[in-house]
Structure 1
Amino acid sequence: MTTKAPTDAVPHTELSVNAQRNNDSSHPPMKPKDAATLIIVDRTGPAPKILMGRRHMRHRFMPGKYVFPGGRLDAADRHVPFASDLNPGVLEKLSKSPRNGKSVATMRGLGMCAIRETYEEAGLFIGAPETSPRRLHEDWQAFEERGLMPVLEPLRLVARAITPPGRVRRFDTRFFAVDADQIVDRLPEGTGPSGELEDLHWLTIEAAHALDLPRITQEILHELDLRLQADPDFTPHLPTPFFYMKGKHMVRGEI
């Protein structure tokens, strides 16, 4: 991974991070793969709550850590029909400093990825009823069976982070946020069919900080807390934090 700052990032702030922990040289350099995560915010109580689950211990990447639903972009995510498209401001943000292509289909696919992974890992459907049924990819059959189409317009980009070099897996992850009222259906099992996330819970941000979290998830929770206080509507055009490595330090840029 190059240590050059992204061209679209504004001046950054270096975070105090142990260099050995974030630049493990035991694994060869690899290009980060596009990924997406969905932070679902439930505002019905006195304090906002978010959905998190524990990664299964069989995973090589961050086993046992609590995370938001999410995963790697699949090729099919770029071509899924939708009930509503991305907000133009969100699309513009997603198109800044891409590393694996900036086509509209790829940017839209990142939102689709977050929605699909939320179904697969948490059993939740972010979508809308479809009056004119269309055939969906096999990964989206559960949506088709319920007469649902994914909705992209409510998604808001709240952060981006690139896994440091030397890790067993590397991802260029976009963190989306959406209100829990966008959940239109859920599996009765209380989890998703992939079995990748266990022990799913709705937690306040304060309670989430007490869990066994990846370092970047701690940073994202901090940013989310500030954003909910200053801009609870997640205004699309406001600066979005972008975490990446510069030398041996994690950097907080903006897009």
Structure 2
Amino acid sequence: MGSHLPQGPSIWRQAASVVLAAGWTRAGTAAAPSSPPPPAKDFRLLMLKRAASQGFMPGAYVFPGGVVDAADRSDDWLRLFAPRQGPPHFGLKPAPRPRAAFPDVAPAPDAGALPDDVARRICAVREAFEEAGVLLLRPRSAPEPAGPTRQLTCAFQPPSGLAAWRARVRSDPREFLQLCAHLDCTPNIWALHDWSGWVTPFARSSPGRRFDTTFYLCCLCQPPPVDPDNAEVVDSQWLSPSEATESFISKKIWLPPPQFYEEMSCT
């Protein structure tokens, strides 16, 4: 396989996606605040419909995500995570397992910046905000996490004036750090659990549209409000894995292979 790949810089761009799974109360019932989490079958996954104008997978229903930006690796994040969290693992214990080697997939470009896993998690959190308006943040004053939490997470309550911030972040990813500093929060990287990884097939897309994507799972106690940006994505649905699969088979929606496979793995 390697003999057929072009030489030179990586032809796969690093990307991250977050599978948002939210507890779902059945119609006609109300969950008491003290009730235990709903059973596994009572949950929904957030699916976003990509705009028809998008060059990559137009019209597809996907999980929030996108390409890792240089801003996601910025050393400026160190000051926001300090003093409680920092290199080498930022409280992500145990340390993430090394990613399997793959031909021409580039490693993290800057050994002096954030670790690759942390940068990808920040990217996934940023993209969830940009595309869906969902904030996965954690107040800096909150108790220190002892590794990825097994508890259900609640999305950060959107403050006033968020629309203006969202426009700024969509225009310049560096503004996401400024938003977090303004809210005195950090991206809730501890609520994201390693889920899977996908690489765009070499023969299936043009250069610049091949991605080495890490998928994370984030379990929410309830569905947060979703506001598609009407630029990259134009619609959203909370679907159970079986609903998504049935809609795909009946051609009501289109799921790319990673989304279809991950939906099936949740059934």
Output the TM-score relative to the length of structure 1.
0.66
Secondary structure in structure 2 of the residue aligned to 1:63: coil
2:128 equivalent among 118, 131, 138: 118
**Runs of 5+ consecutive residues of structure 2 not aligned to the other structure:** 26-40, 143-172, 248-252
Aligned to 2:118: 108
CA distance in 2, matches of 1:96, 1:32: 14
Once structures 1 and 2 are overlaid, which stretch shifts more, 122-131 or 29-38? 29-38
Using the TM superposition, give the Cα deviation of residue 217 of structure 1 relative to its aligned residue in structure 2, in angstroms. 1.3
1:178 equivalent among 208, 218, 224: 218
Q: Percent identity?
A: 27
Aligned to 2:92: 87
- Find out whether 1:163 has 2:203 as its counterpart: no
CA distance in 2, matches of 1:53, 1:86: 30
2:183 equivalent among 141, 146, 149: 146
Secondary structure in structure 1 of the residue aligned to 2:189: coil
2:51/2:230 contact within 8 Å kept: no
Aligned to 1:221: 263
What amino acid maps onto 1:57 in structure 2?
A
Secondary structure in structure 2 of the residue aligned to 1:93: coil
- The structure-2 alpha-carbon separation of the partners of 1:63 and 1:130, relative to structure 1 and needing over 3 Å to count, comes to same
Secondary structure in structure 1 of the residue aligned to 2:259: helix
Q: CA RMSD of the aligned region, Å?
A: 3.0
Larger Rg: 2
Aligned to 1:42: 22
- Find out whether 1:195 has 2:200 as its counterpart: no
Using the TM superposition, give the Cα deviation of residue 141 of structure 1 relative to its aligned residue in structure 2, in angstroms. 3.5
- The structure-2 alpha-carbon separation of the partners of 1:206 and 1:175, relative to structure 1 and needing over 3 Å to count, comes to same
What amino acid maps onto 1:60 in structure 2?
G
Using the TM superposition, give the Cα deviation of residue 131 of structure 1 relative to its aligned residue in structure 2, in angstroms. 4.3
CA distance in 2, matches of 1:86, 1:193: 32
Between Structure 1 and Structure 2, the one with more strand by share is 1
- The structure-2 alpha-carbon separation of the partners of 1:50 and 1:94, relative to structure 1 and needing over 3 Å to count, comes to farther
Using the TM superposition, give the Cα deviation of residue 205 of structure 1 relative to its aligned residue in structure 2, in angstroms. 0.8
1:30/1:165 contact within 8 Å kept: no
Aligned to 1:19: none
1:160/1:174 contact within 8 Å kept: yes
Using the TM superposition, give the Cα deviation of residue 194 of structure 1 relative to its aligned residue in structure 2, in angstroms. 7.1
2:19/2:215 contact within 8 Å kept: yes
Secondary structure in structure 2 of the residue aligned to 1:144: helix
CA distance in 2, matches of 1:177, 1:94: 18
CA distance in 1, matches of 2:52, 2:133: 20
Q: Deviations over 1:8-41 (max 9, x none)?
A: xxxxxxxxxxxxxxxxxxxxx9711100000011
